[in-house]
């Protein structure tokens, strides 16, 4: 997913914004990221050679962020 919520102040981040933070700040915030909809704990995955930065989470079944059709790929969203 491209967006996540950071809990202490309910700040919404896009993965691109989050990846541009200074590493110390990013480290202190990344343990508090959750999915915008279901509140599942989210992790940040920084950009790779051919990959944009993303957030990943183990969403709840009824989470609106993941379309039902994706099923087994839920964790990858
Ligand atoms: Zn979710």
Instruction: Tell me the CA–centroid distance for residue 61 and ligand 1, in Å.
Output: 8
pTM to 2 decimals?
A: 0.80
- pLDDT of residue 72 exceeding 80: no
Instruction: Tell me the CA–centroid distance for residue 21 and ligand 1, in Å.
Output: 23
What residues does the ion ligand 1 have nearby, CB within 5 Å?
35, 37-38, 40, 59, 63, 65
Mean pLDDT, rounded, of the chain: 89
Predicted confidence at residue 44, as pLDDT, reads 96
The larger pLDDT score, comparing residue 18 to residue 77, is at 18
The full set of domain ranges for the chain reads 3-76
- Cα 61 to Cα 17, 28, 35, 42, 43: the distances in Å are 27, 29, 13, 15, 18
Instruction: Tell me the CA–centroid distance for residue 38 and ligand 1, in Å.
Output: 4
Predicted confidence at residue 71, as pLDDT, reads 53
DSSP, res 76? G
């Amino acid at each position: 997913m491209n967006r996540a919520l950071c809990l202490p102040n309910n700040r919404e981040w896009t993965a691109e914004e989050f990846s541009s933070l200074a590493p110390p700040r990013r480290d202190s915030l990344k343990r508090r990221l959750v999915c915008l909809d279901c509140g599942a704990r989210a992790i940040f995955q920084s950009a790779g050679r051919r990959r944009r930065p993303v957030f990943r989470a183990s969403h709840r079944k009824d989470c609106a962020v993941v379309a039902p059709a994706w099923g087994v790929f839920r964790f990858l969203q």
